[in-house]
Amino acid sequence: MRMNSFRPMLLRFAVAMCGFALIPVSSSAESAPLSASELASRLSVLQQDGTSYVRLRMEINGVAKEILQIQIKQRRAKGTSEVVYQVLFPKERKGESVLLRQIGDRPASGFVFTSPNTLRPIGDLKEPLFGSALSYADIVENFFAWDQQAILGAEDVDGVKCQILESKPGKGGHSIYGSVRSWIDPQRLVPLRIEKYSSSGQLLRRIDTTRVVADGENHVPANLSVRGPSAEGLTQINGSQIKHDVKYSDAEFTADGLKELTAPRGSPD
């Protein structure tokens, strides 16, 4: 297994995180512009990157400032996403954990664990992840796989001309969002901005890529800035490293598994 630069899940944030979608992307340019479905399909496939382990720093600027060190365990394949987020630092929050699972078009579900032994099901995917500007939905949804995809035009983001891709869940889809717009750098296939809207068109969340780094033949978003519904809510995410092709047991992606704060062998420091 090889160690790589941090590859966020956007979107995992999506998010992912992801999810929030945080994802690896290819730098190869195309001779002709991609259609909306082709662009979304490529991004969706890249998000379904198997098993991985991530360490990141999350700075939450809300009513008070808080800095968390978090580990992420992920299993992502076509039609299925399973993610576990666990707080490593500070000491008073160590062990707080979240499990989320989404299969196909079904609504996501999961659990929240807090020490010493409090476990509850997630009742609302709009709830904030560890009090951050990210919601639970942001770290598990893959909106590039939604039924409806459209190119709305082009716009500059930090001097880069981006294609604006709009994603909608489609009939029968389940999401807390009515639509998502992504500003994609077509040369590096990096999302430089993501805006998530309610079904009535209200902007609920904005995710900006603040640093892009080269990783071999890929370019990846390394740092993210997330603004939530609250005017005070700003979360900065600084990725460090990721390990791919990690071996996990099924038990690690269960409610009881949240009570164990373990990392795979050879995980990032």
Q: Tell me the pLDDT tens digit for each residue of 223-241.
A: 999 998 876 689 999 986 7
pLDDT at 13 over 80: no
Higher pLDDT, 188 or 234: 234
What average pLDDT score do residues 42-51 get?
84
- Write down the pLDDT at residue 259: 95
**Eight-state DSSP code of residue 230:** S
SS3 140: helix
Higher pLDDT, 248 or 104: 248
Alpha helices by DSSP H, listed for 35-166, are 36-47, 136-140
Confidence of residue 7 (pLDDT cuts 50, 70, 90): very low
pLDDT at 85 over 60: yes
Q: Which residues contact 56 (CB under 8 A, 6 or more apart)?
A: 6, 8, 69, 70, 72, 237, 238, 239, 240
Residue 127 amino acid letter: E
CA–CA dist 9, 23 (Å, integer): 4
133 and 233 in contact (C-beta within 8 Å)? Answer: yes
Q: Would the pTM count as exceeding 0.75? A: yes
CA–CA dist 95, 172 (Å, integer): 36
**CATH architecture assignment, domain 3-243:** Clam (2.50)
- Write down the pLDDT at residue 269: 59
Would you give the distance in Å from CA 45 to the centre of its chain? 14
What H or E segment, with its residue span, contains residue 156?
Answer: strand 148-157
- Write down the pLDDT at residue 174: 86
Confidence of residue 15 (pLDDT cuts 50, 70, 90): very low
